[in-house]
């Protein structure tokens, strides 16, 4: 455990790294430059083949609070995240993940810990974050109504499941109580990408939510991001949202609310399934998406698919015809969008 600094609770920073040399120095520097002092920094090298390990070793030589863990074998992303959580100190009170291509503002952990210390029942603390691409930067994530800094875990989970309200962002955006991590064999579901929000919902079953009304973290969106690339290719974000509503709907929602929440996402699933069938014309990809339904315990509804398929064909025709029919196309597009959502019971 680190030296005592003004009675600050001990915090474990955690960065899993796989070939992250491009942004890694900035990530590490943002941890070292925190206004908070009582911490360890565990960096998990997932068999990187670039200069990542050398960069980590240079920083570890300068700061004894930095600890390197080298994986014996390469681990898939979600499995590696769970493995990384197991490397934090048994004495840490809070855990702050920062991905190798993200960074933190200097007061990030000081402000987040302050909220958690004020409200001990809080399991997750979030804040606004700075999102950035190659061309622009912008503030994102939904927050609590100012000046509120606390809300019950149930209310936050309900808002996400019913409305998709985005309080959590990515693991880099939040602080988690370490005891809630240690009590779980797996924090994340390893069979899917983009299951970090579902992990937050699971934690909120037994804890509450805190929020700092400041921009405290920064996330990069770029083409080489493993999460971004795989999630886009497999529609992992939609699949994860469907799974979270099926898994946690019964706990946080009424039966009617649960049917509506699941139905709206399944409705969107069929739209994308039809769109992919037209654009890709790949039986392999089509069957892969059907396997998602099967894994979720949902039956493929051919009638719904045909309706969505016809919808996409009509919209494609109007797009091809172009400007002359653009107004009419928008009208027809609206009429299809207003088709009733599919209500599905979670059996």
Residues present in the chain in total:
347
Domain co-membership, 130 together with 269: no
Q: In this structure, what CATH number is given to the domain that contains residue 56? A: 3.90.550.10
Phi, psi at 311, each rounded to 5°: -55, -45
- The yes-or-no verdict on residue 262 having pLDDT over 70 is yes
Q: What is the distance, to the nearest Å, from the Cα of residue 227 to the centroid of all Cα atoms in its chain?
A: 9
User: Model's pTM, two decimal places?
Assistant: 0.84
Max CA-CA distance within the chain? 71
Domain co-membership, 323 together with 188: no
- The yes-or-no verdict on residue 284 having pLDDT over 50 is yes
The number of domains in the chain is 2
Rounded to 10°, the helix 236-252/226-234 angle is 80
Our CA angle for 166, 255, 306, nearest 5°, is 80
Domain co-membership, 29 together with 150: yes
Domain co-membership, 162 together with 292: no
- The yes-or-no verdict on residue 44 having pLDDT over 90 is yes
Range of the domain at 327: 254-337
Least confident piece of the model among 149-158, 302-311, 318-327, 336-345 = 336-345
How does residue 234 score in pLDDT terms, banded at 50, 70 and 90? low
Q: Report yes or no on 83 lying in a domain.
A: yes
249 contacts 258 by C-beta, under 8 angstroms:
yes
Q: What percent of the chain has pLDDT over 90?
A: 66
CA-wise closest residue to 139 among 129, 151, 154: 129
Which DSSP string corresponds to 221-233? --TT-HHHHHHHH
Q: Report yes or no on 342 lying in a domain.
A: no
- The yes-or-no verdict on residue 231 having pLDDT over 50 is no
94 contacts 9 by C-beta, under 8 angstroms:
yes
How confident is the prediction for the chain on average, in pLDDT?
88
Least confident piece of the model among 31-35, 182-186, 331-335 = 331-335
DSSP code of 19? Answer: S
Q: Report yes or no on 150 lying in a domain.
A: yes
Predicted local confidence at residue 321, as pLDDT? 76
Domain co-membership, 163 together with 303: no
**Strand, coil or helix: 104:** strand
Using one digit for the tens of pLDDT, what is the confidence trace for 120-169?
A: 999 999 999 999 988 899 999 999 999 999 999 999 999 999 999 989 99
How does residue 333 score in pLDDT terms, banded at 50, 70 and 90? very low
Euclidean distance between the first and the last CA atom of the chain, given in angstroms as a whole number: 47
120 contacts 205 by C-beta, under 8 angstroms:
no
């Amino acid at each position: 455990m680190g030296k005592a600094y003004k009675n600050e609770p001990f915090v474990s920073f955690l960065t899993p790294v796989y070939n992250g040399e491009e942004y890694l120095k900035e990530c590490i520097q943002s941890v070292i430059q925190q206004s908070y002092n009582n911490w360890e920094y565990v960096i998990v090298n997932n068999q990187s083949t670039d200069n990542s390990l050398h960069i980590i070793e240079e920083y570890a030589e300068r700061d004894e609070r930095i600890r390197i863990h080298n994986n014996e074998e390469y681990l898939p992303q979600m499995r590696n995240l769970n493995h990384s959580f197991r490397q934090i100190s048994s004495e840490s009170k809070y855990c702050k993940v920062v991905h190798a291509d993200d960074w933190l503002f200097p007061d990030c952990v000081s402000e987040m810990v302050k909220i958690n210390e004020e409200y001990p029942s809080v399991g997750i603390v979030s804040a606004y974050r700075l999102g950035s691409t190659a061309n622009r930067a912008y503030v994102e994530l939904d927050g609590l109504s100012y000046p509120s800094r606390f809300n019950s875990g149930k209310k936050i989970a309900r808002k996400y499941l019913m409305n998709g309200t985005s309080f959590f962002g990515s693991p880099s955006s939040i602080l988690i109580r370490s005891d809630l991590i240690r009590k779980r064999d797996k924090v994340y579901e390893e069979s899917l990408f983009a299951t970090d929000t579902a992990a937050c919902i699971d934690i909120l079953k037994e804890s509450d939510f805190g929020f700092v009304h400041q921009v405290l973290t920064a996330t990069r969106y770029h083409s080489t991001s493993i999460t971004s690339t795989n999630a886009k290719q497999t529609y992992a974000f939609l699949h994860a949202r469907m799974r979270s509503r099926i898994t946690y709907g019964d706990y946080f929602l009424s039966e009617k609310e649960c049917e509506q929440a699941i139905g709206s996402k399944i409705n969107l699933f069929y739209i994308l399934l039809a769109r992919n069938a037209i654009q890709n014309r790949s039986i392999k990809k089509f069957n892969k998406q059907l396997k998602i339904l099967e894994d979720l315990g949902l039956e493929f509804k051919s009638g719904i698919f045909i309706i969505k398929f016809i919808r996409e064909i009509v919209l494609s025709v109007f797009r091809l015809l172009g400007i002359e029919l653009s107004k009419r196309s928008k009208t027809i597009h609206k009429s299809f969008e207003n088709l009733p959502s599919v209500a599905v019971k979670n059996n």
